[in-house]
Structure 1
Amino acid sequence: MSAPERIPPRGGVTRSGSCAEADGSGEERSGADTAAVHDLLAHGELTVRGQVREASNAVLLCTVERDGRRADCVYKPVAGERPLWDFPDGNLARREVAAYELSRATGWDLVPPTVLRDGPYGEGMCQLWVDSDPEAELLALVEDEEPGPGWKGICFAEVGEGRTALLVHADDPRLRRLAVLDAVINNGDRKGGHLLSTPGGGLYAIDHGVTFNAEDKLRTLLWGWAGEPLTGEALTVLRRLGADLAEGGGLAGRLAELVTLAETAAVRDRVEALLRSGRHPEPGGQWPAIPWPPV
């Protein structure tokens, strides 16, 4: 079997700087730390330092400062969102915040702290910057029909000169949790560049504007577990989410402030469907299963 050709994190995009000044480690935070980060992101002074030009919507790299605390962050103003035919205009920033809220409710904390706030270009989402590990091995290409131990095959990809290779993702419990989260939020755009493995061993996922649609939109690179039984951990988390999404539940109330009532109900329906099947979802066949470009 040929050795995997590693695909770098963040689609090859890197940046210096760290969120360590905000939360100490960039990894697991206590409740007090999380509250402090939220306060900094929501109320700190935003200063624009640059822009991610290859992004489809306006993505501004900023620093945020308050009471002697400082962090790097990403600010996506609503004014910079491109209209989409299947999502309400000016609503992507709220979906990013909704994805963070649901991630927090799972206890997995797979999405960096994200708030909705006013900024230099109006209302938008503000998310703590997370540095990625340039040596992380989450995606790879292998020129074999079988991915081998530690990898899950996704699809074949052209690699030039008439050659194809199997695009694979790591058989990693962190990614498996993310696959469950994506199924719940109905992520229509889970690309490889959205996966951030941190130097401390954590995993974060970014770019959740195309989520929470009431219709099935799931497009992802994390199909490696499709049809397999959900883990006991995932089933426990889904049962907890179901209770929190019930009428009067705290999560249901938070989502209703960010997405439509129909979309909030659809989240509840997806959780119930996962619990009934007890398995990871499979591509439905009525929507492209893998986003383009995939990385």
Structure 2
Amino acid sequence: MNNKSIFDNLKKAEQGARISIISYLILSSIKLITGIIFNSAALLADGINNATDLISSICVLVGLKISRKPADDNHLYGHFRAELISSLIASFIMLYAGIQVVIFSIKKIWYQDFNSPSTPTIIVAIISSLIMLVVFYYNYNLSKKIGSSALKAVAFDNLSDAFVSMGTLVGIVGTILGIKQADGIAAFIVGCIIIYTAINIFKEATHILTDGIDVEKIEAINKIVKNIEGVVSIKEIRGRSHGLIHFIDVTITVNPELNVIKSHDITVKIEKALQKEFFACETLIHLEPDEDFIDKN
């Protein structure tokens, strides 16, 4: 896949981030205002959650824009990892917000600062959860299609927000039905979900930034390469990710009697097979003469 295709897909990922930004801007404003007016700690916590998500999505959008910058003298592999750095920043923002929401909810429960939310808070929670489910579905499918780690993080954040709104709904209804602590407990659960989501985004981003790669991907590469005609054995496979693009290094052994053209054909077959399996990848194939052939001769 050429760079133009990769940059086009980064632009598509930006569109997903923009949809999240618009959704969070509208929902956080409505939740915070409604939560204050109609006395719902859970809805306030949910609004704070969406406000941090708004900042996180902006960070991701900035990271995606930087990722589209072409390679230069100081970045010979391009700027693709910028989207991962943006995910990392987003996770810190979410973690801080989650801790604050948990502290806020514990204080309300401890000091028995209970208020009774009104019916409008239920409507806001229902509409919010439905909107975020739609946004999650769009962003998740787009992230799978184009292979964007940052957009995938945004998508799972969207999903957690949908669950948060559902939990908020349960807390509000419980409080209205007479369980005074329900609103505060829902706010506490919201905070825990925010923290859990932040930790997962942090782990995935740092895994890729430290050149980590899933074992399943290495196994998939091994299976593809060993089935290529002309490959005698595989000596080493290494890989890393730079956002949307994978860099794969493979060392194989071949018949030492092959000429340059046939040897080159093997590397081309490997490159095409890997590019078909993975969304975008750059491969470095190193050929070595197979020792069995040498020993026989």
TM-score range, shorter chain: under 0.3
TM-score between both structures, scaled by the size of structure 2:
0.27
Indicate the structure with greater helix content.
2
TM-score between both structures, scaled by the size of structure 1:
0.27
Answer with 1 or 2: which has the greater Rg: 2
